[in-house]
Structure 1
């Protein structure tokens, strides 16, 4: 099972008293609950941009007391969170990327194409552009770029042109109308392969609305830098573009910079990090049958071998409400996390 494997990858970094894991994509707290149970010396700082998920996870994890701290933030804000808590380094960082099952299941959030709902798709429903805003304001070339880049949609320009044409008479507001347009625009032969014809478009809109690749691009180096010696970064990704960013970030810090023709590696020139997983691990057949979403998962892990940060036991200095207030003030000042 992937959950057991994630705990296995994280546990070696979380054996010391006061060791801290940042669960950068807290969701409903399932990963955090498993880690806190398996690693009794660890504390978890759970980060999530979705206030509804944060409230539910706080309730779920209340029994762990001060071993859990929930923070309302986007995961590219990890350096800001650690600075406010006065923490120089952590033992581990975990990312479970993509949309959570809770967000898919709540009709009003607009993530699912199987039911008619407002075209929202914001992970933080209090801020930023909605999917309807994207559909109703982006030019055809801009919209086609989003669909092609994030959804790998072969009919991207045809769909974009149809959206622009249809919104001239009535703006898009709900998912059912968009799904109907996609059925009309995508030829029948293309609809018979690759899953539901709306799958790629909805994925692309969600990733654009939440700036998922931009956030991940900023978050990866921040997470790698945040771990101390012996610390680990573990990432579950569900999209090839996400996995490519993670692979590139991990490869960049584990590759030796010593010239290939040098017969030995001088002391101190060894890479500061090593790959824990061999390539990207995938779910086994049993898990894929039980959870079809796991079919696309790619799991990678990285460990820090040397560097400037010893991991010292530390307890967060601020409580949940203080951090939330500071995060909201920072968003108001700088607009970070708005999408």
Structure 2
């Protein structure tokens, strides 16, 4: 067994994401028998000594049948209505299932703002930590009843990756209707008669050359593209990932011998740098000349006013912005020390040309994260 699989198999703290297709179907809504089997596998992992956080999709899917809908809704109001019905059913089902083991369940509903806002981020972290310390199972979902298209995570795969870092987890397990990563659609045969190739381990970007990832199915918003993006986000944050089928949950959580594993980067990003790079909303852009691009992205230097050639959007000091070149390509993100008006008046000036209160970096190197 590879070192990555061994590490995930014995990880002390695990976030487990379960896709909509593993819990619901269009005809009958929530499948409690399947949910019970997943709860059995999760309980076994907890009894083996791991702390577990569950990120559960399925709220909208669980609300479709009770509302008499024939397919997953596409308009925001109906999605929110389905979620309001489905979240209640989903939370009750998880609570009932874990009650067989005298295990308490706590529901944690998050929006993207809860991750991008530092104060909300800290509150969510404390809640998850306390639930784990009390021996309860935190079941996390996006708060679809209030989230709008503009403030959504996009899918629960991304939410799971963000929660894994938020909670300081040692591993992330993504369970859905696919048994791992393939370089194409495993259900189809190519024109040359070849089937997609299974990829058991991803150690770096080069292992993803030629991989074609598709979008979600009838009940979910994810799909292989979102799972791949979430796995790369999590691995970049220092958290290894196992991608497997929900049907293989028992084996995946017991010894990590199935599915595809994604190795983590050697050094975990600090909580602040992860927030800057992945979680915070960018409030604007600062355009840099070629010298400044090289300084911040390759030499990890602070951004000085002399290298700024443009400002896009309105933002305040302390906001996160994107650093782009003159073609619009993003090279880094960072926390600005000045508002957009000040930077517009300073750009192109050397430190000795500026008043004393402005003669400091626009973004300090400690607040910069190259992409």
- Please classify the TM superposition score into its range, dividing by the shorter chain length: 0.3 to 0.5
Q: Which has the higher strand share?
A: 2
With normalisation by structure 1, the TM-score equals 0.33
Higher Rg of the two aligned structures: 2
Q: Which has the higher contact order (CA 8 A, sep 6+)?
A: 1
Q: Which has the higher helix share?
A: 1
